[in-house]
Amino acid sequence: MSEPDEGEPRVTLDARVMMTHRTAMTIVLAMAACVLIYVGIGLLNLRGGTLHGSSSNLRVPLYGAAAVFAMCSILLRRVLLLRFRLESIAQRRGAVGVIRHLFRVTLMSAAMAEAVGVIALLITFFGGDEADLIQLGIVALVASLYNYPRLGTWRQAVDYFTTAAPKAG
């Protein structure tokens, strides 16, 4: 899979890393922008008084779910990017496999961080106030920024794991 087909143009490894990184970066930034939109909608909801629930029975479970998503977002990234896991992927799938793995992990972690933003919006419908909304919005943005892909790190990982591991066959 690391060799392109005859009809496919040859792309250098560094160019592939840059293209994949740019795509991941765009998606992560779009998800972070969505979190800001969720917070804005939540603020409009709270100030407009539309559909604002008076019961706070769901605040604690929503905070718990947000905490789980935020921690899973960070832990998933930490666990799936461990050295031995990347070595295994490089041995089985080569450089392209490492690039794809970096991309998938970034997307999964960013999606979990965005879920915290959705919970921030939901809390306004179930008895939450402006402080709840802003706190969860900040947590979502911090988790998103933690998951922001770094091009230099991606290049180093691909270079290291492709030169250290034998080519996938």
pLDDT per position as a tens digit, 27-85: 999 999 999 999 999 999 888 765 555 556 788 899 999 999 999 999 999 999 998 99
d(CA 76, CA 85): 12
> What pLDDT score does 169 carry?
47
Local structure of 169: helix, strand or coil: coil
- Report yes or no: 147 and 116 within 8 Å, Cβ to Cβ: no
Token pair in block for residue 118: 């959705």
Radius of gyration of the chain (CA): 20
- CA separation, residue 23 to residues 17, 94, 133, 157, 165 (Å): 10, 20, 29, 18, 26
3-state secondary structure 64-131: HHHHHHHHHHHHHHHHHCCHHHHHHHHHHHHHHHHHHHHHHHHHHHHHHHHHHHHHHHHHHHCCCCHH
Angle between helical axes of 151-164 and 13-48 (0-180°, round to 10): 140
pLDDT per position as a tens digit, 110-161: 999 999 999 999 998 888 889 999 999 999 999 999 988 899 989 998 988 8
Sequence ranges of the domains in the chain:
13-164
What angle (nearest 5°) sits at the alpha carbon of residue 94, between those of residues 164 and 1? 160
Separation of CA 164 from chain center: 27
Residue 126, CB half-sphere, CA atoms under 13 Å: how many? 13
